[in-house]
A = this chain, B = another copy of it.
């Protein structure tokens, strides 16, 4: 469902091929909506069937042929309606199997759970680095760069940063508490 709106959103900027869309996802939406390229092609077919987009094959001599998709008026309406729906309840929902593991952490040894949290922290730090490398490639796509469009992209980047920083601080607090306990009851470890 959401993937199709992501595709529509990109095609609303300009016509693109499935390959282009996959690239666009990778350098932006990826951080909060991962898209498999196989899934993108499937969704493009569905959207075409629905009349939301239409595709046109472009013959290329130097590269493999490609199919360029454009958004239709119906597609635009569908996309705008989705936007107009605004924030749903799912927005506050944070689904995480990792937190489920933390929840059941009492079944691990303190050493095990501390390791898990440390690994999580390291992963978060790696994630920040990955994010830092990405804005440059967003610029590369630069649809309507002049407009206030980019401000919204910045909002999502800002969210990502503060989310990850928050994760790191949380992990540090947890590790700290676990270390305290190990000092108090060294034999339990």
Residues in chain A within 8 A of chain B (CB atoms): 1-2, 5-6, 9, 12, 28-29, 31-34, 79-80, 82-84, 86-108, 112-113, 115-117, 119-120, 123-124, 127, 144, 147-149, 151-153, 155-156, 158-160, 162-164, 166-167, 169-170, 173-174, 177, 181
Contacting A28 at CB < 8 Å: which of B98, B103, B105? Answer: B103
Q: Taking chain A's interface residues, is the majority helix, strand, or loop, or is none over half, making it mixed?
A: helix
Q: In the bound complex, do residue B83 and residue A31 qualify as a contact, i.e. CB atoms below 8 Å apart?
A: no
Measured between beta carbons, the chain B residues less than 8 angstroms from A34 are 93, 95
Contact of A106 among B89, B112, B148 (CB under 8 A): B148
Number of copies: 2
Residues of B within 8 A of A144 (CB): 106
Q: A94-B31, A106-B152, A149-B106 are in contact. Are A100 and B9 (CB under 8 A)?
A: yes
Identify A113's interface contact among B88, B105, B152, CB under 8 A. B152
Identify which of A82, A173, A174 gathers the most chain B CB atoms within 10 Å of its CB: A174
Q: Give complex CA distance A94, B163 in Å.
A: 9
Contacts of A82 in B (CB 8 A): 101
Q: B87, B94, B120, B153: which contacts A103 (Cβ < 8 A)?
A: B153
Q: A107-B83, A123-B92 are in contact. Are A99 and B32 (CB under 8 A)?
A: yes
Instruction: Find A112's partner among B29, B84, B90 (CB 8 Å cutoff).
Output: B84
**In the complex, which of the residues B5, B88, B101, B166 contacts A162, with contact meaning CB atoms closer than 8 Å?**
B166
Q: Which of A34, A99, A120, A177 has the most chain B CB atoms inside 10 A of its CB? A: A99
> Once bound together, how far apart are the Cα atoms of A163 and B159, in whole Å?
11
Cα-based distance from A145 to B185 in the complex (angstroms)? 18
| Distance A9 CA – B47 CA, assembled complex (angstroms) | 41
Q: How far is the CB of A126 from chain B (nearest CB, A)?
A: 8
Given contacts A33-B96, A33-B100, A104-B152, 12 further A-B contacts (CB under 8 A): A5-B97, A9-B100, A32-B99, A82-B101, A87-B98, A87-B116, A90-B98, A92-B127, A151-B181, A155-B170, A155-B174, A162-B170
